[in-house]
Amino acid sequence: MAEFQPVLTARWGDPEAATLHGYERTGGYQALRKALSMDPAAVIEEVKSSGLRGRGGAGFPTGTKWSFIPQDTGKPVYVVVNFDESEPGTFNNRELIERDPHQLVEGAIICAYAVRCRTAFVYCRGEFVWPGTVLERAIAEAYEAGYLGKDILGSGFDLDVILHRGAGAYICGEETALLESLEGFRGQPRLRPPFPAVEGLYRSPTVINNVETLSCVPHIIDRGARWFASIGAGKSTGPGIFSVSGKVNRPGNYEAPMGTTARELIEGHAGGVRDGKRVKAWTPGGSSTPLLTAEHLDVQMGFDEVQAAGSLLGTKAMIVLDERDCVVDAVLRFTQFYAHESCGKCTPCREGTWWMTRVLRRVEQGRGRMEDIDLMQTVGQNMLFKSFCALADGAVSPIDSSIKYFRDEYEEHVRLGRCPLREESPRLEAASARSGGTTGALAQVLPEGIEVELGEVLG
Ligand SMILES: Cc1cc2nc3c(=O)[nH]c(=O)nc-3n(C[C@H](O)[C@H](O)[C@H](O)COP(=O)(O)O)c2cc1C
């Protein structure tokens, strides 16, 4: 097989890549010219045959999503770029925008042309102050050059792009919560169906795509669907950017064909585990995807392949834990994140993430009971597929998968009354030191049966 040449990151070494001049110098906006000479339906067909699947987590076929947009409703059609990127471990959208923003702008214009949209939005994560500025600059340059606005390149096609900055909420990456937020309401998910393709922004047909998904589009139009489909493995075509972090020597974003093995990404691209240690566990697609272990390193990073291994490809974000890491501690941190970010709309998610955190914390601190392990699984079962959106399912993933592979580590915490990977439990020690020994005193003043988390009392 021919050696893989970077596609999405090809311009990353070029200091001018973020400017219009640098982008055009390297073939930028040629795909748009080509697309504008095609029938919109033919553009959709090309994206369909490329096999491109959404990179935002669910892996839905992009061309198929575009083809769902009805054109006879009398309502406007909207395109929304999802640049909320908040899944722990995921950072490829940010770098794509910082280093090559026009690639996304061009992809979004082609998408808008294909679905006959006249107004597109980019929903930018609140914390992305600098990337948002880079993108704003690129959008302004595109207007000035006639790639946006009225009668784009003399084609008769008009498009406005509006960048909207969020306020920093994970839930606003979920497509229907994002739409609520964009409309000015509290970011909470909507019941589906109807799906956004039918009733999205302002109850109008709407396409929502991830930054990396749309960044693939100019290349598909430029080099053809067949070329794109020739990269990758099985039903996961094209290149992908894998975010690798945690205990690796070279954390970062690495572009590789979809279907590259986890081993190649962790041991090859990311330089292997630090200090010569071994992989203990890793997430294939951010912290909301079930953990896998060293046994799974030869799994191909494709949608179906990772699913067959018992997890999900998600956002292709690999957080690597090594043998020195406490899985219970890592899972507690993930769970605290989901409890904090649960929007509160659905009871199973709002209550479940809160209780999971509470039970996990006591196990991690050495105050757990053996029944707590089964209790967490029961709570998980009462959350799975019982909420408006997948936040709750994502919160259950790390707990369920870690109990599946590392149950003995949970049991050790209970048996020893501390983390087996540490001599003492530093959290309890530190908390006790800060409180000047109030732990015991506190127990005396509290009525029996009332349990107070040290963190809650000690701040
Ligand atoms: C809680 C939650 C958070 C999400 N956050 C993001 C996000 O930050 N970016 C993103 O592209 N998709 C996110 N998604 C997935 C979106 O709902 C949606 O599937 C995606 O934007 C569709 O784009 P794609 O087809 O190009 O993947 C999230 C989903 C859930 C349930």
334 Rama class: left (phi>0) / alpha (psi -120 to 50) / beta: alpha
- Structure tokens, 230: 């020739």
Tell me how far apart the alpha carbons of residues 311 and 338 are, in angstroms, rounded to a whole number. Answer: 18
According to DSSP H, which parts of 268-364 are helical? 303-308, 327-341, 347-364
pLDDT at 434: 45
- Structure tokens, 265: 């990404």
29 Rama class: left (phi>0) / alpha (psi -120 to 50) / beta: left
Please give the backbone phi and psi of residue 149, each rounded to the nearest 5 degrees, phi first: 100, -150
The DSSP code for 203 is: G
Transcribe 68-108 into DSSP letters.
T--S-SSS--EEEEEE---STT--HHHHHHHH-HHHHHHHH
Tell me how far apart the alpha carbons of residues 293 and 291 are, in angstroms, rounded to a whole number. Answer: 7
Choose which residue among 47, 82, 115 to substitute to test ligand 1 binding: the one with the highest number of ligand atoms within 8 A of its C-beta. 82
Choose which residue among 110, 170, 175, 220 to substitute to test ligand 1 binding: the one with the highest number of ligand atoms within 8 A of its C-beta. 175
104 with 110: CB under 8 angstroms?
no
**Owner of token pair 């709002």:** 350
| Residue 173 alpha carbon, nearest atom of ligand 1 | 5
| Residue 212 alpha carbon, nearest atom of ligand 1 | 26
CA distances from 285 to 62, 175, 305, 321, 398 (A): 19, 18, 13, 14, 11
On the question of a cis peptide bond just before residue 194, with omega within 30 degrees of 0, the verdict is yes
Q: How far is CA 442 from the centre of its chain?
A: 41
- What residue owns the CA closest to ligand 1's atom 24? 54
In the reported structure, the alpha carbon of residue 77 is separated from the centroid of ligand 1 by a whole-number distance in angstroms of 20
Q: Which residues contact 283 (CB under 8 A, 6 or more apart)?
A: 89, 289, 291, 292, 311, 314, 317, 318, 319, 398
Q: What residues are paired with 82 via a beta bridge?
A: 123, 210
In the reported structure, the alpha carbon of residue 348 is separated from the centroid of ligand 1 by a whole-number distance in angstroms of 21
Q: Which domains does the chain have, with CATH numbers?
A: 20-228 (3.40.50.11540), 233-322 (3.10.20.600), 327-423 (1.20.1440.230), 427-459 (no CATH)
**Owner of token pair 């070029």:** 14
**Owner of token pair 């600098």:** 130
User: Could you tell me which of 64, 312, 62, 77 has the C-alpha nearest to residue 212?
Assistant: 62
Name the stretches of the chain with pLDDT < 50: 425-459
CA distances from 152 to 29, 36, 144, 149 (A): 12, 9, 11, 6
| Residue 62 alpha carbon, nearest atom of ligand 1 | 25
Tell me how far apart the alpha carbons of residues 205 and 366 are, in angstroms, rounded to a whole number. Answer: 52
Tell me how far apart the alpha carbons of residues 338 and 46 are, in angstroms, rounded to a whole number. Answer: 38
Burial (CB count within 10 angstroms: exposed 0-12, middle 13-18, buried 19+), residue 21: exposed
- What residue owns the CA closest to ligand 1's atom 29? 174
- What residue owns the CA closest to ligand 1's atom 25? 54
Tell me how far apart the alpha carbons of residues 116 and 73 are, in angstroms, rounded to a whole number. Answer: 13
pLDDT at 422: 82
In the reported structure, the alpha carbon of residue 389 is separated from the centroid of ligand 1 by a whole-number distance in angstroms of 11
Element spanning 256, H or E? strand 252-257
Torsion of CA 167, 172, 176, 177, to 10 degrees: -60
Residues in the chain: 459
Specify the 3-state DSSP secondary structure of 318. strand
Pocket of ligand 1 (CB under 6 A): 54-58, 60, 82, 84-87, 170-171, 173-175, 208-210, 213, 389-391
| Residue 389 alpha carbon, nearest atom of ligand 1 | 31
Tell me how far apart the alpha carbons of residues 317 and 73 are, in angstroms, rounded to a whole number. Answer: 38
| Residue 213 alpha carbon, nearest atom of ligand 1 | 26
In the reported structure, the alpha carbon of residue 36 is separated from the centroid of ligand 1 by a whole-number distance in angstroms of 28
In the reported structure, the alpha carbon of residue 334 is separated from the centroid of ligand 1 by a whole-number distance in angstroms of 18
Q: Which residues contact 331 (CB under 8 A, 6 or more apart)?
A: 360, 398, 399, 402
User: Could you tell me which of 270, 276, 274, 235 has the C-alpha nearest to residue 256?
Assistant: 270
- What residue owns the CA closest to ligand 1's atom 28? 174
pLDDT at 424: 52
pLDDT at 1: 55
